[in-house]
Amino acid sequence: MPRQISQKTASQKKKSSSSEEIQKPSAEIFYQEELNKLAKEDKKLPRPKGWFLTPQSVLKFILGDEEAGADPKFVGERSTIERCIVALATNRGLMLIGEPGTAKSYLSELLAAAISGDSTLIVQGSAGTSEDNIKYSWNYALLLAEGPSAKSLVPAPVYRGMNEGKLVRFEEITRCPLEIQDILLSVLSDRVMSIPELPDESRTLYAKNGFNVIATANTRDRGINEMSAALKRRFNFETISPIQNLSEEISLVQRETARLLERAEIPVSLPPEMAKILVTTFHELRQGKTGDGKSLDPLSSVMSTAEAVSVSYAAGIHSYYYGKEKGEKKEKKIEAEHLVQNLVGSAIKDNPDDLKKLRHYFNHIVKKRKGKAWEEYYQAKNHLL
């Protein structure tokens, strides 16, 4: 029998704090109605053991399906998403690799929400990640008072995932030291976790159906802590590439900006012409060439779609609080100057040369483009201080 959408997760969270009060609700909370509708429609269809949705419905949930009432949430090749879903139905983990800002983490969240009904079992990889953060630790007061027991054990995400039959998300795994990464070897190969401190049969935790691991790795971090060959063999690797189609990227940025501004109760929208200018700038500076084939010096900063959404969202808030009311209805809207002001903080991070490259782009590319919106965009270049 399929699980109900994590009523233990979603409903309990809703009781303590409604979705509107949560700064960033997880996918299973934000899309709860949609997930439950998909689950109801495929209730009698076969699915891998321990899965909330069928593989077909997982795909509909992620890429969108008008007939099923599912909105598109991720822009990517259908074949890539299909392979990701198939990998998770096997006893191999899934490794998502790619440039920063290509929505690897978001894809892993959507997959976990659709498959397990819970995307909150997360290990955040870093130089400080320890075995306790991955497997389990102890309540030392209880440990000293009563000795090792299930009561004194504090489960970490991998323990919970195995015990509850859910997906575990391991973010930025290559930022962890090699010996920490290799903790997953026995978990992914034998599907067991040894807990030597516990007595008798409690010493071994066997993974329940539905458990697996989705890991992400940033290609810019490659070489920091390379994965061992043994661990690589336990994962299927999928590369998540930046969006190549300009119109698809524009639509995504508009959709996500509108969603963020609506949640923030900011009555400002991103005009289509401003969305096109912003995404074109990111697209061209990321690829190192203009739409008509002229070469550009790409920025060292990550000019990702996620960063474009961040800039447009910030521009919307900037416009609402500091912009001027225009028109008979006294409305505020995102203008070119708001985009440029917030573009600086996104594009210029740790390399001073990026500011020179951005100025060059405005003086040699933006300046020559026709249209009122492009002219306003160029006039706002005085904010590139």
The confidence band for 12, taking pLDDT boundaries of 50, 70 and 90, is: very low
Supply 9's token pair. 């997760």
Residue 58: closest CA among 11, 108, 96, 19: 108
Sort residue 315 into left (φ over 0), alpha (ψ -120 to 50) or beta: alpha
Q: What is the CATH number of domain 7-128+159-178+208-239?
A: 3.40.50
Is the pLDDT at 287 greater than 90? The verdict is no
Q: What is the mean pLDDT of residues 292-308?
A: 86
Q: How far apart are CA 242 and CA 363, in angstroms?
A: 26
CA end-to-end span of the chain:
61
The confidence band for 14, taking pLDDT boundaries of 50, 70 and 90, is: very low
Supply 166's token pair. 């859910």
Digit-coded pLDDT (tens) for 33-67 = 999 999 999 887 889 999 999 999 999 999 999 99
Task: Sort 324 into a burial class: Cβ within 10 Å, 0-12 / 13-18 / 19+.
Answer: exposed
Would you state the pLDDT for residue 134?
97
CA distances to 5, 111, 337 from 22, rounded to whole Å, are: 19, 21, 31
Is the pLDDT at 165 greater than 90? The verdict is yes
CA distances to 110, 146, 293, 341, 370 from 305, rounded to whole Å, are: 17, 52, 21, 18, 24
Q: How far apart are CA 184 and CA 190, in angstroms?
A: 10
How much is the pTM? Answer: 0.88
Identify residue 23 by its one-letter amino acid code: Q
CA angle centred on 213, ends 63 and 303, rounded to 5°: 55
Would you state the pLDDT for residue 297?
85
The rounded mean pLDDT for the chain is 89
Would you state the pLDDT for residue 3?
54
Would you state the pLDDT for residue 353?
84
Digit-coded pLDDT (tens) for 303-357 = 889 999 999 999 999 999 998 877 556 678 899 999 999 998 877 776 778 888 9
Digit-coded pLDDT (tens) for 59-101 = 999 999 999 999 999 999 999 999 999 999 998 999 999 988 8
